[in-house]
Structure 1
Amino acid sequence: MRPYEDGDREGVLGMRLSPLSLYRRFFAGTPRIPAFYAETLGRVDRWDRDALVAVADTEIVGIAEYTRDATLPELADLAVMVADPWQRRGVARRLVAGLTALARTRGIDGLRADVLADNHAARAAIGRVWPHAAAAHGEDGALLYRIPL
């Protein structure tokens, strides 16, 4: 696990993700990671936006990121994506642990995470790590988690 670097763009775009994994991350059917996503990673500034990647050999197998809320600077949105062959192996848990430690040092005391209601693995993971995280139903059918750090 290490900080995302500018040279990681192609590695992230090349992550091995099924259509279901892509749908669960981007909430839309897409055959590959959208170009706009790679562009947002180019705006990592290590304060309001940061990301960590998990690397196996030379392959990026996971990424976790936060983006600070401009109107509530103590709150940030969390997103995690793990390549299919590496799911359920602790990659997301380790990425999120490292990222939340960074967020705390930068004055962030809460995270938000949007999770599709049928993404039982993500919901279970949130429940294990943050048993007191509250979820509300969003307009698009997703669950909106508020996670205190």
Structure 2
Amino acid sequence: MSQVATYSVKTVLKDGTSIQIRALRGSDEADMLAAIARTGPQSLQSRFFILKRHFSEKERTFFMDVDFSNHVALAALVEEQGRDTVIGGGRYVIVEPGRAEMAFMVVDAWQGRGVGSLLLRHLTDIAREQGVRELTAEVLSDNRPMRSVFAKAGFKLARSDDPTTVHLSLSLGSAPPD
């Protein structure tokens, strides 16, 4: 099992709230679906580029069947009413050797508090350690909050043929020697 598959850190949001960032587990599916249910239509459209509430079995399998090599996913959790609750998630998927595409989603009530930035930072560190040389993301042009998160992390605007989306890219440098 990959060391990334057991990744788990406790950290603190900028408002002092304790948060756990950890590897997504197969047992998280119900909690992930509950997080989506607590996410508004605008946020879901920003993440999936269409209004999405329900996922096919194939889609759920893709989102939950993470190998922590070519597909790495982290969940953000906080304690609410005595139990850990998923409030967001982020992932990257290798699209070609050395290059991965990232995506994030944060429950509406937790947006603007630094959850996405923390997920991005942890995923970037993991990607770098795993030899990924470039991270990319597609973001809706009008999704200014997410564009800001990526910009603060050093992502640069790349060419986009679609006026409704922007392509962002971050170079992580060369791959470490074997």
Per-residue CA deviation, residues 32-55 of structure 1 (Å, 9 max, x unaligned), is 253444221232101000101000
Task: Return the letter of the residue paired with 1:66.
Answer: Y
Indicate if the aligned counterparts of 2:31 and 2:85 stay in contact, CA closer than 8 A: yes
TM-score normalised to structure 2 length = 0.76
1:10-41 deviation digits (Å, cap 9, x = unpaired): 111111100000000000122x2534442212
C-alpha displacement at 1:139, in angstroms?
3.0
Aligned to 1:40: 62
**Structure 1 stretch 42-51 or stretch 32-41: which is displaced more?**
32-41
- CA RMSD in angstroms comes to 1.5
2:85 pairs with 53, 59, 63, which one?
A: 59
C-alpha deviation, 1:100, in angstroms: 1.1
Describe the shift of the 1:148–1:79 C-alpha distance in structure 2 as closer, same or farther (beyond 3 A).
same
Q: Give the alignment partner of residue 123 of structure 2, picking from 94, 99, 106.
A: 99
Q: Is the 8 A contact 1:13 1:38 kept in 2?
A: no
User: Which amino acid in structure 2 is aligned with residue 9 of structure 1?
Assistant: E
Tell me the secondary structure at the aligned position of residue 159 of structure 2: strand
The aligned counterpart of 1:2 is 22
Alignment coverage as a number of residue pairs: 145
TM-score, normalising length: structure 1: 0.90
Structure 2 gap segments, 5+ residues each? 1-20, 173-178
Question: What is the match of residue 141 of structure 2?
Answer: 117
**1:63 aligns to what SS in structure 2?**
strand
Question: 2:94 aligned to 68, 77, 97, which one?
Answer: 68
1:88 and 2:109 aligned: no
> What 5-or-longer segments of structure 1 have no aligned partner?
none
Larger Rg: 2
Code of the residue aligned with 1:63 in structure 2: it is G
Partner of 2:166: 143
Q: Distance in 1 between matches of 2:98 and 2:69?
A: 12
Q: Indicate conservation of the 8 Å contact 1:112/1:144, yes or no.
A: yes
- CA deviation after TM superposition for structure 1 residue 138, in Å: 3.4
CA contact (8 A) 2:26 2:65 kept: no
1:20 equivalent in structure 2: 42
- Between the aligned residues of both structures, percent identity stands at 30
Q: 1:143 to 1:113 in 2, by over 3 A?
A: same
